[in-house]
Amino acid sequence: MDSLQRSNASTPVETESPPFVDTPATESSLLFDNLDELLQRLPSESHHILVTGGLGFIGSHTTLELLKANYNVIVIDNLSNAFVEVLDRIRTLAQKFHDDNGTKMPSLRLHQHDYRDTSSLRPLLEDYRLPSRWGVPKSKIAGVIHFAAYKAVEESIRHPLKYYANNVSGLIDFATTLGDFGIKTFIFSSSATVYGTLATSGLPLKEELCVHKTEEYTDDAGMKQVAQPGSTGITNPYGRTKWICETILADLAASDPEWTIVALRYFNPVGCDPSGLLGEDPRQAPTNLLPVVVKVLTGEYSELQMFGSDWDTVDGTAVRDFIHVTDLARGHIAALSTANEGKLAENFRTFNLGTGSGNSVLDVVSTMEDVSSKPIPRKEADRRPGDVGYCVAVADRSREELQWKTEKSLKNACEDICNFLHVSGLTTVKSS
């Protein structure tokens, strides 16, 4: 078990001797004239990816998939909504993967601090600086995946300034610092909530419904359309922070072509790694449907409140696009490699990460009951402030431009959750 070092200087938790002992930044010379190009062409396994919030639910699954894809991973996490034990579980799973495949395990380091703590962030980025020409900063960090943000819709309504400070102001300072170090490949954890009430407009929920500059596109009827920048009917501060961050990043990309930025619009991430070691286990009381259902399954909660049974849907309960978190994590790998290979259509691009099909709250309850062979007590309740009745992705752009699509089902997600509960001893539930 790594001894976690807590310090403002964010001492890394080493898992192996550093791959390089950097020479001090040297001025360019004939001898080193093409050094940075040579270093940039090192195979991807020498590339490092910085992941903020890398021990969280989605972050931990993505960190695992990055390690499997031979990336070295640097995690920044302040553990406000995650447990440090997750680090070892990720390492165990990644090591087993590489042992089984006869491949080398990349490095995994945790820096325990808030991503907004620049006094810790700058020394960390300095450690990965590469020698560069003409003073143009270069880094061994080939990309950043930014998960660290507050995400509870209902809480954002009660504490908007907390959400704007962490999610928006934090992003501005973070991107500024990354730019100072020449780290300009950025994958942003966005959300389907940026579509606001358009989600229930009946229009196919395509990325063109929420753009940050005037865009021409062809609709399903083959008609040329022009999308105007803006947002429509975002129903809560959390969703607005995501939309504002996308806007900021779109403007940054427009101002500097060296930036390559992808905003991934998650629908509803559910499930967990089939090993049962990385289940959704938030420190804070959950508000999302599946973690609440889990609390009912384990007996911690007596029943599930179903918010709204009068939505204009198949059974009156809300419909969502529930995407297995492992599929979601692999969407990040696809986005990162597409960005690093220079294959993005533009240097700011948004992608829906969803299955393209919807399930209702009642579907989820009955699937979980079938899989667990346990009843889930529930009762109908009033709609929750900020909710919409229907939100399902059109995932064509991700399939066509990232060569990525989901492979797992809601049933798989429920089975993997039951396995997590069984492995962690939280209940006698074993998926049937």
Positions annotated as catalytic residues are: 238
- The yes or no reply on residue 156 touching ligand WQD (CB under 6 A) is no
Q: Which is nearer to ligand WQD, 52 or 72 (by Cβ)?
A: 52
N-to-C CA span, the chain: 34
Nearest distance, CB of residue 250 and ligand WQD, angstroms: 18
Total site size for ligand WQD, rule CB under 6 A: 19
> For residue 199, which of 353, 393, 364, 386 has the smallest C-alpha distance?
393
- The yes or no reply on residue 153 touching ligand WQD (CB under 6 A) is yes
- The yes or no reply on residue 167 touching ligand WQD (CB under 6 A) is no
Partnered with residue 76 across adjacent β-strands are 52, 111
Residue from 84, 292, 423, 426 binding ligand WQD (CB under 6 A): 292
> In the chain, helix, strand, coil percent, each to 5?
40, 15, 45
Partnered with residue 261 across adjacent β-strands are 186, 348
- The yes or no reply on residue 288 touching ligand WQD (CB under 6 A) is yes
Specify the stretch interacting with ligand WQD by CB under 6 A; choose among 30-38, 111-119, 287-295, 342-350.
287-295
Contact present, 393 and 362 (Cβ < 8 Å) = no
Residue from 64, 325, 344, 361 binding ligand WQD (CB under 6 A): 361
Specify the stretch interacting with ligand WQD by CB under 6 A; choose among 11-19, 136-144, 302-310, 401-409.
302-310
CA distance 236 to 232: 12
> For residue 83, which of 112, 107, 117 has the smallest C-alpha distance?
112
- The yes or no reply on residue 145 touching ligand WQD (CB under 6 A) is no
Instruction: Fill in the per-residue mask, 192 to 211: x = in contact with ligand WQD (CB under 6 A), - = not in contact.
Output: -x------------------
DSSP-based three-state secondary structure for 350: strand
> Residue 214 corresponds to which tokens in the numbers above?
């005037």
Give CA 160 to chain center in angstroms.
21
DSSP code of 167? I
Q: Which is nearer to ligand WQD, 138 or 212 (by Cβ)?
A: 212
> Residue 372 corresponds to which tokens in the numbers above?
């667990």
Specify the stretch interacting with ligand WQD by CB under 6 A; choose among 66-74, 80-88, 159-167, 298-306.
298-306
Residue from 2, 387, 396, 401 binding ligand WQD (CB under 6 A): 387
- The yes or no reply on residue 247 touching ligand WQD (CB under 6 A) is no
- The yes or no reply on residue 298 touching ligand WQD (CB under 6 A) is no
Nearest distance, CB of residue 90 and ligand WQD, angstroms: 21
State phi, psi for 383 to the nearest 5 degrees: -60, 150
Nearest distance, CB of residue 151 and ligand WQD, angstroms: 4
> Residue 382 corresponds to which tokens in the numbers above?
């009033």
- The yes or no reply on residue 191 touching ligand WQD (CB under 6 A) is yes
- The yes or no reply on residue 405 touching ligand WQD (CB under 6 A) is no
- The yes or no reply on residue 295 touching ligand WQD (CB under 6 A) is no
DSSP-based three-state secondary structure for 424: coil
Nearest distance, CB of residue 335 and ligand WQD, angstroms: 15
Q: Which helix (H) or strand (E) holds 143?
A: strand 141-146
Residue from 7, 26, 169, 305 binding ligand WQD (CB under 6 A): 305
Residue from 89, 129, 151, 349 binding ligand WQD (CB under 6 A): 151
Touching ligand WQD, residues 112-141 (CB under 6 A): none
DSSP string across 258-315: T-EEEEEEE-EEE---TTSSS----SSPP-SHHHHHHHHHTTSSS-EEEE-S-SSSSS
C-alpha angle 298-299-300 in degrees, rounded to nearest 5: 95
Q: Which is nearer to ligand WQD, 287 or 340 (by Cβ)?
A: 287
DSSP string across 390-426: EE-B--HHHHHHH-------HHHHHHHHHHHHHHTTS
Residue from 194, 318, 329, 371 binding ligand WQD (CB under 6 A): 318
DSSP-based three-state secondary structure for 329: helix
DSSP code of 128? T
Residue from 72, 247, 260, 268 binding ligand WQD (CB under 6 A): 268
- The yes or no reply on residue 61 touching ligand WQD (CB under 6 A) is no
> For residue 106, which of 12, 231, 18 has the smallest C-alpha distance?
18
CA distance 40 to 16: 22
Give CA 358 to chain center in angstroms.
20
Q: Which is nearer to ligand WQD, 128 or 267 (by Cβ)?
A: 267
- The yes or no reply on residue 289 touching ligand WQD (CB under 6 A) is yes
Specify the stretch interacting with ligand WQD by CB under 6 A; choose among 18-26, 62-70, 104-112, 305-313.
305-313
Interface residue list for ligand WQD (CB under 6 A): 151, 153, 191, 193, 266, 268, 287-289, 292, 304-307, 318, 320, 361, 384, 387
